[in-house]
Structure 1
Amino acid sequence: MNNVDLVLLKNIPETCPGFQARATARAITRYYNSCFKPYGLTSEQFSLLVGIGSAPNETVTELAARAGIDSTTLSRNIRSLESRGVIASVGGRGRAGKRLNLTEEGWTLLTTLIPVWQSAMAELTHQMGSESLSLTTQKMRHLAKISTSL
């Protein structure tokens, strides 16, 4: 027999920001994945294109740090997008030296995807309300910031 409080155990998923953040992230990822699926992309790959487009010549390590993820996690999507011809890596060996840029095809794809993203955002705004969505996003950024500093 164990001494775990089962009532507390059942309440953790409803009250813990970590549980809620992961559940929310999975739901939002599924939503954006469905939006980008006709273009053969995932939401993570779209985010990578946006990240590279907004900071050309950044290294994989720098991009990972800015995005708050491990650089090895990016490697699979980088290889996939490179083989598709939408990003190019130049420079040194390894994640710390390899610099990323969008190709012409990458810029064209991103130009096509921005209205898709805008439409997806408009639907989220419609469903949640502009002020509520903005406040939620602001609170998520704040929670990430304070969690990182702990």
Structure 2
Amino acid sequence: MSVQSAGIILYRFIDAKLQVMLVHPGGPHWAKREDGAWSIPKGIYEKDEDPLAAAKREFREETGHEVDGVFIDLGEIKQPSRKIVHAWALKHNFDTSKIVSNLFSIEWPPRSGKIQQFSEVDRAQWFEVQEAKKKILKGQRPFLERLMQQLDYIPKNTEVAHYFE
């Protein structure tokens, strides 16, 4: 059975432009990676756990804040790693400067015998959806497309046929 993960994409409109909030993974492996490294706040859940409840818990663990409201179900996507991610979208104007993430421990540098702690998420940021397409992990990109379809959103000055390429 595949690993199951659940997450929440926050979105808002600024000057009629769709923006989404993404998080950048913490730790030394991701420190210098930008394009194709950002993610939706998400995490693994057990098969007997409610996926939306898990998504809310993971959002809280990765950002330090709780969110609630009317969620848009964006469905599931199988990642290149074979993990299944289920995502929801929520309209919310989150202050990314107030992020407080949980920590994880790893041996760093490798084979050094030193265990160090790092934030699971080192920062969060709002991106216009076109920029978010470049920043987000490739396997999560379809969630942005599904969100745009659910919101019936077409960016101005963009040829629709080329937008989803």
Scaled by the length of structure 1, what TM-score is found?
0.29
Which protein has the bigger helix share? Answer: 1
The structure with the larger Rg is: 1
Which protein has the bigger strand share? Answer: 2
